[in-house]
Amino acid sequence: MIIKNIGRLTGIVPEGVLRKEGAAMNETGEILDAWLLSRDGRIADFGPMFSCPSPSDGEEVIDAGGGMLIPSFCDSHTHLVYAGSRDAEFLDKINGLSYEEIAARGGGILNSSDLLHSTSEDELYRQSMQRVKEVMEFGTGALEIKSGYGLRPEDELKMLRVIRRIKESVPVTVRSTYLGAHAIGRGYTHEDYVRMVIDLLPEAAPLADFVDVFCDEGFFTVEDTARILEAATPFGLRPKIHANELAVSGGVQVGVKYGALSVDHLERTTEAEIEALRGSGTMPTMLPGSSFFLGIPFGNARGFIKAGLGVALASDYNPGSSPSGDMRFVMALGCIRMRLTPVEAFNAVTLNSACAMGLSHELGSITRGKKASFILTHPGWDLTKLAYTYRTPFINRCIY
């Protein structure tokens, strides 16, 4: 396939650059008036229009008509496999209850767990696939999905099987995370629940790429997290940790200690978290959609970048704290509420978010050899306009 007359080919990154950090977060390569050739689903070549090759026999030609071509969004943190809805809690929230107060009343994750328990595996797949299709239409070309609404062995495995089925049935890249330690399941003591999460590893690990723990005040401690990560190591599951959403939890430090691919949320951090992350290889991931929805602080992305770190942004698509998987809105929130430049926010939702799933050798930029996974916009768009006029439709077509 040749795509010609691309107004802006944006998001070009040299081979071997797997993340953007510090000042480099504000840089990305761009060719005005460009073409791009893909073969066997991979980017074969690209360049300025004056050098556009003529199509070989059978090669599809797409005229971009002056639109911008960017890599598809990568969403490294979602909980989009869930059953039903938590719309009643939306009213509680409007009436002034906090996320913690709703959870303490048996709402929150436990409510989703009850709904999931009474939903068949086929129905759970059907409902979840609707959300996958929704985010694909928003331009997401790779996403991570977590378990964590099972809260008992058979239901955690049901979720992980549904994620596997999604993986097998969509053209976008999916990564699966075992988040057994999302909340204490009904009928368990804290200790018995942590034991269950560990005991389930032999069955959960073959269905998962990563392991996650909600290491935060009122959920799981640093000690619980260390035990679970220790137990997950022999199964080859790299950690991705929920940390520092509700309190300065120590989750960043324990994640870094166990070689986490990412530590996520980070609404509440200090200099100590920045120091722990420096030189670690762990991608700090912020979730502005949940800050927006819950009315809690936004992560200190500016401070992290100033310290020379990279930042990824993800949607956290879930029924309790971020009921949207729209990565363009996440990018806009990054600019509007976290004072990222449009280029920084773009790198955060593409290359760095791919990196937070261990996929940045495959996705997240315009680079020869990477997967041909793009958003083609209408004419006249650029990255600034994307974040600034954040509700104006911009997608001409998505190519996966």
- CA dist., res. 184 & res. 358, Å (int): 29
108 touches ligand NIG by CB under 6 A: yes
Position 124 contacts ligand NIG (CB under 6 A): no
63 backbone dihedrals φ, ψ, rounded to 5°? -95, 115
Binding residue for ligand NIG, selected from 78, 249, 321, 396, defined by CB under 6 A: 321
> Going by DSSP bridges, is the β-strand pair 238-243/210-215 parallel, antiparallel, or unpaired?
parallel
Residue nearest to Fe ion (CB): 316
Q: Residue 89 in 3-state DSSP?
A: helix
Residues contacting Fe ion: total by CB under 5 A? 1
- Give the binding range for ligand NIG (CB under 6 A) out of 25-33, 107-115, 198-206, 339-347: 107-115
Q: Nearest 5°: phi and psi at 24?
A: -65, -20
Largest pairwise CA distance in the chain: 68
Q: With contact defined as beta carbons under 8 Å apart, do 104 and 290 qualify?
A: no
Which of 287, 366 has the CB closer to ligand NIG?
Answer: 287
Using the rule CB under 6 A, give the single segment among 68-76, 233-241, 313-321, 355-363 that binds ligand NIG. 313-321
Instruction: Tell me which of 150, 288, 299, 320 binds ligand NIG, using CB under 6 A.
Output: 320
Q: Where are the alpha helices (DSSP H) in the chain?
A: 87-94, 99-104, 108-117, 121-137, 153-169, 190-199, 201-204, 222-232, 251-257, 271-277, 288-294, 301-306, 327-338, 342-349, 351-355, 383-388
Q: Which residue, 139 or 319, has its beta carbon nearer to ligand NIG?
A: 319
Q: Which position among 28, 72, 112, 173 is part of the footprint of ligand NIG (CB under 6 A)?
A: 112
Q: Given the DSSP bridges, would you call strands 61-63 and 2-12 parallel, antiparallel or unpaired?
A: parallel
Residue 279 burial (10 A CB sphere; 0-12, 13-18, 19+):
exposed
Query: Is residue 326 involved in binding Fe ion (CB under 5 A)?
Result: no
Residue 109 touches ligand NIG, criterion: CB under 6 A = yes
Among 156, 209, 224, 245, binds ligand NIG (CB under 6 A): 245
From the list 105-113, 223-231, 324-332, 358-366, the region that binds ligand NIG by CB under 6 A is: 105-113
Residue 319 binds ligand NIG (CB under 6 A): yes
Closest approach, Cβ 245 to Fe ion, in A, equals 8
Residue closest to 365 by CA, chosen among 198, 205, 161, 142? 142
Q: Give the binding site for Fe ion (CB under 5 A).
A: 316
The residue ranges that bind ligand NIG (CB under 6 A) are: 79, 108-109, 112, 214, 242, 245, 290, 316, 318-321
